[in-house]
Chain A
Amino acid sequence: MVQQLSLFAKVEANQHPLLTKVLSTLTGLPPHKLEYLSLLMVPKNIVKYEPNSKNAQFEQHRLKLNTSFDPSKQKSDYKEWILQATDIPSAGKRKTLTQNLVESCIVLNESQNIESMFDKLGYAVEKEFVVRGQRWCYGNVVIKVFQVLVGEERTPLDSSYVVKCFVNVDKTTDVELLQRSTQELLSLKNELTGLIELEIPDRNSMDSRIGIRK
């Protein structure tokens, strides 16, 4: 399990080329292409929440499956996936968004298919989208600038771009490392002030739990 510290911003399409140039100059690196297909998996059987019952002991979450996007492939052609489970970001007064997440690789053999496999596990595809954009590294911070593409035509959900700056901290208990990572993110925020405003989003928007408790 890693702890992900992140800050987000939105950049309008007309500012995007400028941001690309600024980030390339700042990091001294050309952008890396970022393009992956995401499947949002939802449990087929949603257990009704009843206080004081056994069900109260666990919560159901959505799962995310990511794989590098290839337009020529069908969904069943992808054999390598990354399964991602995320917790709701931590509450409280914080300088960055802090979220626990677990990722794991799934490699299927030729006869297997991701949908049927997750069907057996009791999950179904709820949404499918492609994330397309660019990626930079700045010290320990990874900067992603992307659009979410939806539908068969892969049309952008929104004309604007999302900027996500994050640091993954391996040890969730390493306070010193967490402080240093926070500091790095904040100095990047300072550096980019005026061009984009990196902020903490609403933690509820990144809550992948099934909404029976809400």
Chain B
Amino acid sequence: MPSSDYDSASLPDLLPLYYRRLFPFSQYYRWLNYGGVQKNYFQNREFSFTLKDDIYVRYQSFTTQNELEKEMQKMNPYKIDIGAVYSHRPSQHNTVKSGTFQALEKELVFDIDMTDYDDVRSCCSAADICSKCWTLMTIAIRILDRALRDDFGFQHLLWVYSGRRGVHCWVCDEAARKLSVAARSAVAEYLSLVKGGEETMKKVSLSDPIHPFIRESLLVVEQYFPRYGLQEQDILGRKESVDKHLIKELDLPLTLPSNVRKDLQQDFQNERKPEVRWKLIRDHATKKKAAGKKGHHFDKEIMLQYCYPRLDVNVSKGVNHLLKTIHAFMTTTSLSSLLTRTCSSFNLDQDAFLFPSTLKNWIDLILFAFFFLIPVKTDGITFFSLICEELDRPRIGEEEEKAEDDKDKENEKDAAERRKIRDYKRTSLAKYVKCFDQFLDGIAQSRKGELLRKSDLQKDF
């Protein structure tokens, strides 16, 4: 089935299969239950489902993994959103006195969406993405991942492909889940450098001294800017882009005194090469800095305006904001081919992903969401049908288990249970589910450490 043939019409057939045989319920439950340390943590969590024909059902909640499983297999949602942990069971929110039903906790989440970069990318617009502009996501992940770990001290970051045109980050640390609305917005604002809407041209303003966080972020941006900005987007090359963004941007009195701007325009007419043009700009900046003048950061501001992650602050701010979960079906038809391109950029374009080895985990996690359930075309077959094929393949080297199965035949429920677990293991999804398991192990470990510390403290008294 070529990707262009894939359409949402086939979803009603695929979804039951997916929820019956592939969906990793036990990991899902393990994640959101957080070891059951806090009472009713899973039970009071809001889920919302998007069903066929865009019917949106909010305030679903489940008492056990089993109930969640049954309900999802019954409803076969196209999309699942995870909301907050509430003071009461969300499914009963109508029965409690109004005002007492309140969102208490949720992971700290970040949503980076490619559409927010439309004014600074020329390769695609709106929901389209390609391997060129995907660099923006790579930059975003590296900058935010570092800051959330080093500056804020969070450890359990789950980075996932959002399913359409960007990435989500779920910060799962206990401290992050307990943050107030004010704290969430403070974190998001600390991390935001690009500010202003359609009525603002110059969206980044730096002043001395440059905060260590910005310095660290600039280190990342500087690595990618020559290739991404100057070559791939060619921001200094094309006449239109020179006028549209830079000159206009430099036009603003705050950024650049008019004499430097004039010099630049003169120089630019004689020089076509983007690298050289960029050097001209940087030289001007250095000159101004040496002269000890204000506003000499315009080169950095340009780089940041083009490359710095653009957060949707409103998503991070609210405790009760819903966010799509990683295991959801893609329904946008045109996207599968785009995804293939993006995927291949992951595989082929290795040097764009020269990450420190410690970060390897989350790259895998992105890939995980990427391949999980997204019917991407690989060599003429959708990814999903590939998985189905893997499921149907005869079991090789599973003879012993089969014998075991025979023994357990009287207990059919157990056998079914076990088959379910094994199902995804026999597909290429196994690798990614394993990644997720490792992530959950990490959370469990720090939880144990925390409990130990607490009980130690108690002994002291």
**A joins B in a complex:** no
